[in-house]
C-alpha cells in the first residue's frame, strides 16, 4: 500500500497522520485534492528517553537444569517497548476515529521503522480507511513543509 508521495491526492477532509515512535501529528485536509490545505487537528507526544536511561538492570542469567552451564537472558529494550506502546495507542485512536465517523480517509506518513510497527496494529476498518502510506520520516517538519512534500 506504500505510495509514491509525489503523485498523491489527498481528499478533502482526509486525515494525514504523520508519526514516528514518539510523536504523531494528525492533520486534516481543509482544502481539496488538487490544493491540499493541511491543518493540525491533534498532536500526540511521548517522552521516550534512551533505553540506557530507562532500565539499568544487568542482563539476567539462567542456569541449565543439568550441568553447570549458564546463559544470559536478553535485556528488554525499554525504548523499543515505549515506541510500540505509543504506536498501539495511536492505532487505537485512529480505529476509534474511523468507527465514530470522525475520519473516513487517512494517509499514513511514518518513519519506515514506525510504519513497520504500526501496520500489524491496523484493524479491518482502519486498514480499509487508509488511502495511502508514505514511508518517510516527516514528523519534525513544519506542517507547510509536509504539505509541500505531499502535494508536489
**Cell reading at 114:** 514506525
Share of the chain above pLDDT 90, in %: 66
What is the reported pLDDT for 101?
96
Q: 83-120 pLDDT, tens per residue?
A: 999 999 999 999 999 999 999 999 999 999 999 999 99
Rounded distance between C-alpha atoms, residue 29 and residue 15, angstroms: 6
Query: How many residues are there in the chain?
Result: 152
Residue 80 C-alpha from the chain's centroid: 13
Instruction: Measure the N-to-C terminal CA separation of the chain; round to a whole number of Å.
Output: 19
Domain edges within the chain: 5-46+72-151
Q: 31-46 pLDDT, tens per residue?
A: 998 889 999 999 999 8
What is the reported pLDDT for 52?
55
Share of the chain above pLDDT 70, in %: 74
Q: Kindly give the pairing relationship between strand 61-63 and strand 70-72.
A: antiparallel
What is 5-46+72-151's CATH number? 3.30.420.60
Rounded distance between C-alpha atoms, residue 88 and residue 72, angstroms: 29
The pTM score is: 0.79
Amino acid at each position: 500500500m506504500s505510495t509514491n508521495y509525489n503523485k498523491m491526492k489527498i481528499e478533502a477532509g482526509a486525515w494525514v497522520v504523520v508519526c514516528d515512535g514518539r510523536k504523531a501529528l494528525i492533520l486534516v485536509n481543509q482544502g481539496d485534492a488538487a490544493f491540499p490545505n493541511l491543518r493540525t487537528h491533534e498532536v500526540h507526544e511521548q517522552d521516550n528517553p534512551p533505553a540506557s536511561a530507562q532500565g539499568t538492570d544487568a542482563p539476567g542469567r539462567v542456569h541449565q537444569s543439568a550441568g553447570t552451564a549458564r546463559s544470559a537472558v536478553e535485556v528488554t529494550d525499554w525504548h523499543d517497548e515505549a515506541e510500540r506502546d505509543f504506536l498501539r495507542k495511536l492505532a487505537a485512536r485512529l480505529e476509534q476515529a474511523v468507527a465514530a465517523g470522525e475520519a473516513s480517509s487517512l494517509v499514513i506518513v511514518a518513519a519506515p521503522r514506525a510504519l513497520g510497527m504500526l501496520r500489524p496494529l491496523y484493524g479491518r476498518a482502519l486498514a480499509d480507511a487508509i488511502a495511502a502510506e508514505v514511508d518517510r520520516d516527516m514528523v519534525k517538519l513544519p506542517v507547510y513543509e509536509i504539505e509541500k512534500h505531499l502535494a508536489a
